[in-house]
Amino acid sequence: MAHNVARLRARLSRFDVTLRPHLKTGKSVDVARAVMASPAGPATVSTLKEAARFAEAGVRDIIYAVGITPDKLGRVLDLRSGGVDLAVVLDTVEQAEAVAAASREAGVRIPALIEIDCDGHRSGILPTDVEKLTAIGQILATDAELRGVLTHAGGSYAARGVAALVACAEEERRAVVDAATILRTADLACPVVSVGSTPTAHYAADLTGVTEVRAGVFVFFDLVMAGIGVCEVDDIALSVMATVIGFQREKGWILTDAGWMAMSRDRGTAKQAVDQGYGVVCDLAGRPYLNLIVADANQEHGIIAVRPGSGGVLPDLAIGDRVRILPNHACSTGA
């Protein structure tokens, strides 16, 4: 884990950007402290529950990076009045009006970032939608605080090869920088220009105009990231300890007590060149059994089998022996 954190820090040190790690991956104060620049942050979270938990642990600079709704603004104001600089994210005029109204009512200015859609992956405003961007920017600047613009290159998880990853990163950068330019042209301040995904953080060739990078899974990595080529299987720093609970020798199965409750149901490598099933099996020292995968998973049962076509054999394990299993998606296994 320390190696992975150092690797991203070294990579970002060539640019003039801040690292604002996404803490949803680890959901742990210890992991958060290992990845943040200081115990006070900055940081990104995906729920207000995470925001409250990390605020208790002393984090003071947080972006809640899921679109805000009116019913959550009370909790946002509570956290802010407790001394946490918590910023929200939005992409509609309705949300901006709700943030402005709550700010007026509370006599404070809630900071908000406008979410930009850089690749059609999920939410956000297109960086060509000048009208909507300036409308939202003006509402925020008048009654709340326009903190900046933010995007997430979710499409990068489907990219294959260095050229495609570099292109995703550039598309991500250009989308927010274009949006910031539109706002500034309308005389609106836009101090923060925020991008973030682990693949693009590792492959960006240029971050001109960007002020901060959010990434989360870089801390542990996982089989999806290894499949994209962002890390090696050896870099994966999160594993599930599974205990052998049985055998079906005629079928070539070893049964363990690590089902999808432990591994997560994520099958993120199913569409990649190498399908890792529900995970790669390693010995206790972390050396992968290259011929084994977790072929199936029930709630509390995992089925380890020889990888199809590998010609391997099952290792000589006894009831009670333990193995380490590398997960497809560190965020879901960590949660």
Q: Which is nearer to a second copy, 47 or 142 (CB)?
A: 47
Closest contact distance (angstroms) between CB of 13 and a second copy is 28
For residue 54, the minimal CB distance to a second copy (Å) is 15
Q: What strand order describes the sheet that includes 192-195?
A: 18-19, 212-213, 192-195, 145-151, 111-116, 85-90, 61-64, 43-45
DSSP 3-state of 194? strand
CB of 67 vs a second copy, minimal distance in Å: 3
Q: Residue numbers of the site for a second copy (CB under 8 A)?
A: 24, 46-47, 66-71, 90-92, 94-95, 98, 115, 117, 120, 122-123, 154, 243-248, 251, 255, 257, 260-261, 264-267, 298-301, 303, 318-320, 331-332, 335
Between the CA of residue 292 and those of 277, 305, 312, what are the distances in Å? 10, 6, 8
Residues 140 and 137: their CA atoms lie apart, in Å, by 5
Q: Which is nearer to a second copy, 17 or 146 (CB)?
A: 146
* Least distance CB 260 / a second copy (angstroms): 7
Nearest to 140 by CA among 116, 117, 110: 110
CB of 14 to a second copy, least distance (A): 29
Only one residue has tokens 């954190």, namely 5
- Taking the complex as a whole, the smallest distance from the CB of residue 306 to a second copy amounts, in Å, to 17
What are the angstrom distances between the C-alpha of 29 and each of 41, 56, 214, 220, 333?
11, 10, 17, 15, 17
**Euclidean distance between CA atoms 286 and 325, whole angstroms:** 9
Residue 75 host element (H or E): helix 73-81
Residue placing its CB nearer to a second copy in the complex, 69 or 310 = 69
CA–CA separation, 288 and 66 (whole Å):
36
- Specify the residue, 291 or 332, whose C-beta has the smaller distance to a second copy: 332
> Of 55 and 258, which has the nearer Cβ to a second copy?
258
Cα 207 off chain centre by:
19
Residue closer to a second copy, measured from CB, 36 or 330: 330
